[in-house]
Amino acid sequence: MATQATSSSPSSTSSSSSSSSCPRWKCHVFLNFCGVDTRKNFTDHLYIALKQKGIITFWDDEKLERGKYISPELLKAIEESKYAIIVLSTNYASSRWCLTELAKNFECMKKAKLTILPVFYHVDPSDVRNREALLLKPLQNMRKIPELTHKMCKCGKLL
């Protein structure tokens, strides 16, 4: 299961006009993070702070089984979010889930529907930008997803 914090007065960023080009956001923020690195500390505090401010935030539930494929619900949550906060941490690039979510974030960003906000948690942004220690070894093991190397570099360049 995934968790979505809702505010007492859910606000939609779409206007009341009949234009179909205005998307209706179900979440303000989608949190993309490596649970082993940040769930019990940084991301947990961030989630609580966003929730307290009434910001509708989606993050994956800790009870999701490791190693299983990402549910369509999780990918749909990215599509239905206005912002994605990507918490890049030491083990981020080792997580197939994180990288799959990252690819979906960039896909939605290309469609001008999503703004990506990278956060570097105990990681040097130049490592991400230059594909060094943080990324190179794990990504070499994930050759089945070649576009992710490029997307991680793009994430590093968002600074």
Quote the pLDDT of residue 7: 36
Instruction: Please confirm, yes or no, whether 101 is among the known catalytic residues.
Output: yes
**What global pTM score does this model have?**
0.70
Quote the pLDDT of residue 22: 36
Quote the pLDDT of residue 100: 87
The answer to whether 24 and 12 are in contact (CB under 8 A) is: yes
Quote the pLDDT of residue 140: 52
Catalytic residue (one of 101, 107, 132, 147): 101
The residue with tokens 């009949």 is: 18
5 versus 110: the higher-pLDDT residue is: 110
The answer to whether 28 and 55 are in contact (CB under 8 A) is: yes
For the chain, what percent of residues have pLDDT higher than 70? 60
> Is residue 9 pLDDT above 60, yes or no?
no
**Most confident option among 13-22, 63-72, 111-120, 139-148:** 111-120
Q: What is the pLDDT of residues 84-137, one digit of tens each?
A: 999 999 888 888 888 889 889 989 998 878 999 999 999 888 777 765 554 445
Q: What is the pLDDT of residues 143-155, one digit of tens each?
A: 445 555 565 555 5
- Cα angle, residue 119 at apex, residues 157 and 41 outer, rounded to 5°: 160
For the chain, what percent of residues have pLDDT higher than 90? 35
Q: What is the pLDDT of residues 53-64, one digit of tens each?
A: 999 999 876 555
Confidence of residue 19 (pLDDT cuts 50, 70, 90): very low
Token representation of residue 1: 């299961």
Please enumerate in sequence order all residues whose Cβ is within 8 A of that of 111, keeping only pairs 6 or more positions apart, or say none.
none
Confidence of residue 12 (pLDDT cuts 50, 70, 90): very low
